[in-house]
Structure 1
Amino acid sequence: MNNCNSNSFAKEFYLTGFPALHDYQMPLFPVFLLCYLIILIGNVIIIAVVVMDEKLHKPMYFFLTNLSVLDILFTTTTIPKMLAMFLVNAKTISFNICFLQMYLFHGLTMAESLLLVVMSYDRYEAICNPFHYSVKMTKKVNILLAACAWVTPLSISIPITFQASLLTFGEKNIIYNCFCDHLAVVQAACADFFAAFQTFLGFYFAMTVSAVPFILVVLSYIYIIISILKINSKVGRSKAFSTCTSHLIVVGTYYSSIALAYISYRADLPIDIHILGNVVFATLTPLLNPLIYTLRNKEVKYAVKRFVFLKIFSCSDKL
């Protein structure tokens, strides 16, 4: 933490990016630009396909479109600034924009955790209570579940971000990260008890809001697996497992990236490894989600093929 005059007021922060790769920033630009374009195009295609294909007008795919929208917003809070850093060395960020980025990053992170829980609950109802599924998972219930997954974390993030903004910062503040993460920003504050407490509070709050949804997802799939194993038909078991495969891979990827970020923070490793853990967490899951669902989910894969074929066919007709 920085030692500074309590009368000073922070106007901007300085993001270090990857300090060890300072002279190699330009090669990072096309890599992250490609990742961002894949995230945008892949998730937009999923949203368009689910909206346009009536066969996908099911609760499972309604939640999938929410996940796609969330991934677009989540990466848009961080990657564009990173691209500017790598391309033109634009490493300064204003006080207000930094805390807005922090709020959105952590709020949307928690929203993704809760949305994965909602999607697990949907699979639980579909497989464990198939005869009551259509009665329980009505359009109104789906909208309510999705709204809770969005509103709750975005509301919880407000007081945390506000408290962090009240910390004392100097005129020049170095944030060892590629974006304004809560922990990195708090560590840039002036050394005092309140800043140390914010570091402790922020870290353990982040672990809690990750662990609780993870436990709920695991419990859901324990019941799902038990129900699937009770199915007598081999074809029926295979079909039930296939409806969960994509979501399980997404959950595994998401929590693996969280584990990587956690290990990189707790272990005595170079600062670049800490930063890399955060960057991987911020980009890996949104990058893989559309690829996983278009390759592993048969209904989405066929819908995407029909969508692409119709677009190509309509374009050829115009020519």
Structure 2
Amino acid sequence: IPYETLNQSAAVIFILLGFSDYPEFQILLFLVFFAIYVITVMGNLGMIVIIIMNPKLRTPMYVFLKHLSFVDFCYSTAVTPKLLENLVSEDRTMSIPTCITQYFFIGNCALTETFMLAVMAYDRFVAICNPLLYMVVMSQKRCALLMAAAYSWGILFSLLFTYSLLILSFCGTNTINNFVCEYSGILSASCSDKHFSQLILIFFIIMNLNTFCTLIIILTSYLFISVTIRRMHSASGRYKGFSNCASHLTAVTIFYGTILFLYCFPNSKNSWLVIKVGSVFYTVVIPMLNPLIYSLRNNEVKETLRKLMDLKIISQ
């Protein structure tokens, strides 16, 4: 990047509008989002600790759940602290390096999570449709490869999108009508040639279509799972098969349901508030819900948590 471009970009100021149109609700929103963030951090880190401490929770399903909790923790941490700061501070500015860095982590976590949800659906498909081959198909080596592919997927394309923003130059003070730095907002603020970045934006749209391909993988997996469960003769077998999928299916429904809502909602000036609320649910609330969903519907996790609580009571 030429020195002139770096010098010009360093002076750029972005202003995140967030929820500044509703000053009377700033304190209330701060308290709500702060509580959500505390629950998110405790829930996801607690889930990771529980899975590490209990030898019974070292099966592939819990390995994937541990990594999902880590991604959710990073996702929420990339968004919520800055959102909280903007709610209590009159200075809502961000420098270009900070803004692009935030975008990189948000994009990385979002892409990685979609891949992980598809991997977890495949894991449930193998466990229910081919239980005798489960430990062979979902070996430690394959689980490690799937997790490496998920992280590589997120990092590779996030770096590509980030690079397309780093080669731009920016002018003056710019506003982003959101509470996070997002690609189109940063791109529209540039005062240089946007040809390459616009091509990347088109590629980004195609990538979103590919993201929905992970949804197709998930739906296909659950189609075979439902057929297999219906063929089970015992009611207890059918109930056990459904219970093994209920948590993941709930998480997938909330995650992709929010995405579909944001894509299908008309983009107009009057819809910005609804889009912001949907984005908050997508980036802030869902990382809090995932550990709650998996812990409340999983007997082994609840049993481990109960033992930890008993040990704490005894130690006191």
TM-score of the pair, normalised by structure 2? 0.91
Residue 94 of structure 1, CA deviation: 1.2
Alignment map for 1:51-90 (pairs within 5 Å): 51-90=52-91
Cα distance in structure 2, aligned partners of 1:250 and 1:239: 18
Residue 195 of structure 1, CA deviation: 8.4
CA deviation vs aligned residue, 1:126-179 (integer Å, no higher than 9, x gap): 111111111111112111111111112211111112112333422211111111
Cα distance in structure 1, aligned partners of 2:176 and 2:78: 16
Corresponding position of 2:3:
none
Cα distance in structure 1, aligned partners of 2:224 and 2:156: 31
Residue 98 of structure 1, CA deviation: 0.7
Moved more, 265-274 or 28-37: 265-274
* SS, match of residue 189 in structure 1: coil
Residue 269 of structure 1, CA deviation: 3.0
Kept in 2, the 8 Å contact 1:186–1:199? The answer is no
Counterparts in 2 of 1:198 and 1:94: CA distance versus 1, 3 Å: farther
Residue 56 of structure 1, CA deviation: 1.1
* SS, match of residue 233 in structure 2: coil
Moved more, 162-171 or 199-208: 199-208
Counterparts in 2 of 1:254 and 1:14: CA distance versus 1, 3 Å: same
Unmatched segments (≥5 aa) in structure 1: 1-6
Cα distance in structure 2, aligned partners of 1:260 and 1:90: 31
Counterparts in 2 of 1:199 and 1:278: CA distance versus 1, 3 Å: farther
Counterparts in 2 of 1:121 and 1:41: CA distance versus 1, 3 Å: same
Corresponding position of 2:145:
144
Corresponding position of 1:39:
40
Q: Output the amino acid matched with 1:14.
A: I
Corresponding position of 2:273:
272
Alignment map for 1:1-319 (pairs within 5 Å): 9=9, 10-190=11-191, 194=195, 197=198, 201=202, 204-264=205-265, 266=267, 269-314=270-315, 316=316
Residue 67 of structure 1, CA deviation: 0.5
Paired-residue identity, %: 34
Counterparts in 2 of 1:272 and 1:184: CA distance versus 1, 3 Å: farther
Q: Output the amino acid matched with 1:113.
A: T
Moved more, 128-137 or 253-262: 253-262
Counterparts in 2 of 1:203 and 1:24: CA distance versus 1, 3 Å: farther
Q: Output the amino acid matched with 1:161.
A: T
* SS, match of residue 93 in structure 1: strand
Q: Output the amino acid matched with 2:190.
A: A
Q: Output the amino acid matched with 1:115.
A: M
CA deviation vs aligned residue, 1:89-122 (integer Å, no higher than 9, x gap): 3411111111111111011101000000110111
Counterparts in 2 of 1:193 and 1:125: CA distance versus 1, 3 Å: same
Q: Output the amino acid matched with 1:70.
A: V
Residue 31 of structure 1, CA deviation: 0.6
Unmatched segments (≥5 aa) in structure 2: 1-6
Cα distance in structure 2, aligned partners of 1:53 and 1:289: 20
TM-score of the pair, normalised by structure 1? 0.90
Moved more, 34-43 or 261-270: 261-270
Kept in 1, the 8 Å contact 2:262–2:278? The answer is yes
Residue 83 of structure 1, CA deviation: 0.8
Counterparts in 2 of 1:246 and 1:49: CA distance versus 1, 3 Å: same
Number of residue pairs the alignment of both structures matches: 310
Cα distance in structure 2, aligned partners of 1:312 and 1:101: 41
Corresponding position of 1:3:
none
Q: Output the amino acid matched with 1:68.
A: S
CA deviation vs aligned residue, 1:202-234 (integer Å, no higher than 9, x gap): 651352242111111111111111111111111
Cα distance in structure 1, aligned partners of 2:194 and 2:243: 51
